[in-house]
Amino acid sequence: MSGSTVAGDPSTWAHALVKISPYTFSAIGIAVSIGVSVLGAAWGIYITGSSLIGAAIKAPRITSKNLISVIFCEAVAIYGVIVAIILQTKLESVPQSLLYAPESLRAGYAIFASGIIVGFANLVCGLCVGIIGSSCALSDAQNSSLFLKHRGLQEHDIPLLWSVGVPWTCLPPSEISNPFLQEDPYVEEQRGNMDLL
Amino acid sequence: MYGFEALTFNIHGGYLEAIVRGHRATLLTASDYNNLCQCETLDDIKMHLSATEYGPYLQNEPSPLHTTTIVEKCTLKLVDEYKHMLCQATEPLSTFLEYITYGHMIDNVVLIVTGTLHERDVQELLEKCHPLGMFDSIASLAVAQNMSELYRLVLVDTPLAPYFSQCITSEDLDDMNIEIMRNTLYKAYLEDFYRFCQKLGGATAEIMSDLLSFEADRRAVNITINSIGTELTRDDRRKLYSNFGLLYPYGHEELAVCEDIDQVRGAMEKYPPYQSLFSKLSYGESQLLDKAFYEEEVKRLCLAFEQQFHYAVFFAYMRLREQEIRNLMWISECVAQNQKSRVHDSVIFIF
């Protein structure tokens, strides 16, 4: 049941990869989920904010309406934070013997994958929302009938669906078979006793 | 990388691009021009202009206005906006903005040298220079006697120095040589600007190469038409054409041997963008050619604003503003000389 039987010959790369603790993978996944999402959101806000400030000099009326572009970018960072919090609640301590069990490895990889998906999806989403917000601010300054009112579906609901919903499906099920769940030592002993009977 | 400029352009250029687009929104529209064309006196013009962005610049002028005052104040507004943008800009945008003014510098140099040749006073000439093209040692241009002195004394410290390598001769300055010098300098300037834009890459390179090619072709046609019947040889004429543009190199071969306007028309009609231009003119007429070229230029400059995240909007804005000042000058002159029937001959609506 340990990782070495899974991989075979001890001197291959596969064996080395399998020996990396699943905690490492999960931690990196959580870090990427929040870090790269915030990078994307900040980059997007930078892009839209610089255009908005310049355009608002000649057309001050656009500032209040175009704040929504900045809010959408910010929402992207929030999704990253939400997923990071959810992922870190999935982390539990396991006894050393079960650390390299296949179920543990799967859980570690699953959290890593979720984090990467969320992080990089939010990076690209934040950039796109920022670029759209910049163009929208400039065209609104020119002609106020050009302001896009219906970006809510594209910029809020779809990122919410993809960056939060999809990783949710990758997460390990929180059932009894999850080796990350805390094993009560009294229950362990009882089970061992029952075997003897 | 073309297409990904949106990711990093706003870091250095976002604020200034938004500012220049704000300025573009204040260019005079067709309805403003219609109001101005119906004015009876220069004071009416001043009153209409005070409702636009030119208001603060014209309101302190005393009542007997001259057309030159109006033009001067409008140019002053353009210069103020330009200097504001230049102060805020970082590389490479600041170099790009400086390149836009080298054309005016060349014109100023030629103006002072020609004026000195005709024994005019230096101060009077300095007042006529375009403010965007001023540099520090411009007044000492009056001292030079021939081109190599001109270069050695004054121009080697200016940004125009690299353009002089092709036209340093020891000949004395006279009218013909000065025109050749102007065109040679302008040719070197356009080629340098073109190379600089190509180096910038992306949307800037694409849009600026279109605008600069049109400028190079327009100058080639003007040089050809103006040198018909003068003693400029064909080889000299060909040396004044730029090394890029739609007409390079085969169109230049044909233009170099043209002897009258109809041959020019025949050479140009092989190129679809210029064919439509020339088809508007009837045979033998060249006065409307200038207006046709200006209209085509304005159309292309307006198209530069369709894309975001590039520098060509700055170039386009400066040129459109200059066109607007030319329009205002024409309208003011027509009104001042009571020739209002000719007002629409040369006013080009920008929007």
Q: Is residue A4 part of a domain?
A: no
Q: Are B304 and B313 in contact (CB under 8 A)?
A: yes
* Residue of chain A nearest B307, judged by CA positions: A135
Where residue A16 falls among pLDDT bands split at 50, 70, 90? confident
* Residue of chain B nearest A60, judged by CA positions: B22
Whether the pLDDT of residue B256 is over 50: the answer is yes
Chain B residues with CB within 8 Å of chain A CB: 6-7, 10-11, 14-19, 21-23, 25-26, 308
Task: Tell me the count of A-B CB pairs closer than 8 A.
Answer: 61
Least CB-CB distance to A54: which of B14, B26, B308? B14
Q: What's the pLDDT tens digit per position in B212-226?
A: 999 999 999 988 888
In degrees and rounded to multiples of 5, residue B172 shows phi and psi of -70, 155
Q: Is residue A59 part of a domain?
A: yes
Q: Is residue A11 part of a domain?
A: no
What's the confidence (pLDDT) of residue B119? 84
Cα angle value B303/B291/B179 (rounded, 5°): 105
Per-residue CA distances from A43 to A38, A47, A130, A132, B231 (Å): 8, 6, 7, 13, 62
Whether the pLDDT of residue B124 is over 80: the answer is yes
What does the alpha-carbon distance between residue A84 and residue A30 come to, in Å, rounded to a whole number?
Answer: 5
Residue B37 pairs in a beta bridge with none
Whether the pLDDT of residue A182 is over 70: the answer is no
Q: Is residue A162 part of a domain?
A: yes
Distance from CA of B81 to the nearest CA of A (A): 13
Where residue A150 falls among pLDDT bands split at 50, 70, 90? confident
Q: Is residue A14 part of a domain?
A: no
Q: Are B196 and B91 in contact (CB under 8 A)?
A: no
Number of domains in chain A: 1
Least CB-CB distance to A50: which of B6, B7, B10? B10
Where residue B317 falls among pLDDT bands split at 50, 70, 90? very high
What's the confidence (pLDDT) of residue B213? 94
What does the alpha-carbon distance between residue A98 and residue B123 come to, in Å, rounded to a whole number?
Answer: 93
Tokens of B320: 């459109």
Q: Which of B7, B9, B12, B15 to mutate to test the interface with A (most CBs of A within 10 A)?
A: B15
DSSP string across A156-186: IIHHHIIIIIHHHHHSPP-STT-TTSPPPHH
What's the confidence (pLDDT) of residue B249? 85
pTM as predicted? 0.87
What does the alpha-carbon distance between residue B99 and residue B87 come to, in Å, rounded to a whole number?
Answer: 15
Q: Are B140 and B154 in contact (CB under 8 A)?
A: yes
Q: Is residue A47 part of a domain?
A: yes
Q: Is residue A48 part of a domain?
A: yes
Q: Do A54 and B23 touch (CB under 8 A)?
A: no
What's the confidence (pLDDT) of residue A81? 93
Least CB-CB distance to A47: which of B10, B23, B26? B10
- Least reliable range by pLDDT among A10-14, A172-176, B176-180: A172-176
What kind and span of H or E run contains A22? helix A22-58
Mean of the pLDDT values across residues B55-61? 84
ipTM of the predicted assembly exceeds 0.85: no
Distance from CA of A149 to the nearest CA of B (A): 21
Q: Which of A39, A58, A142, A145 to mutate to test the interface with B (most CBs of B within 10 A)?
A: A58
Whether the pLDDT of residue B277 is over 50: the answer is yes
Higher pLDDT pick, A104 / A166 = A104
Where residue A174 falls among pLDDT bands split at 50, 70, 90? very low
Mean of the pLDDT values across residues B243-254? 86
**Residue B82 neighbours by CB distance under 10 Å:** 20
User: The domain containing residue A129 runs over which residues?
Assistant: 22-89+99-196
Q: What's the pLDDT tens digit per position in B63-122?
A: 778 888 889 999 999 999 999 999 999 988 999 999 999 999 999 888 888 888 888 888
Tokens of B151: 């270069």
Tokens of A31: 């870090």
Largest Cα–Cα distance in chain A? 86
What's the gap between Cα B163 and its chain centre? 18
Q: Which of A39, A48, A51, A145 to mutate to test the interface with B (most CBs of B within 10 A)?
A: A51
Q: What's the pLDDT tens digit per position in A118-130?
A: 999 999 999 999 9
Least CB-CB distance to A58: which of B10, B17, B25? B25
- Least reliable range by pLDDT among B145-149, B150-154, B261-265: B145-149
* Residue of chain B nearest A138, judged by CA positions: B18
Q: Is residue A6 part of a domain?
A: no
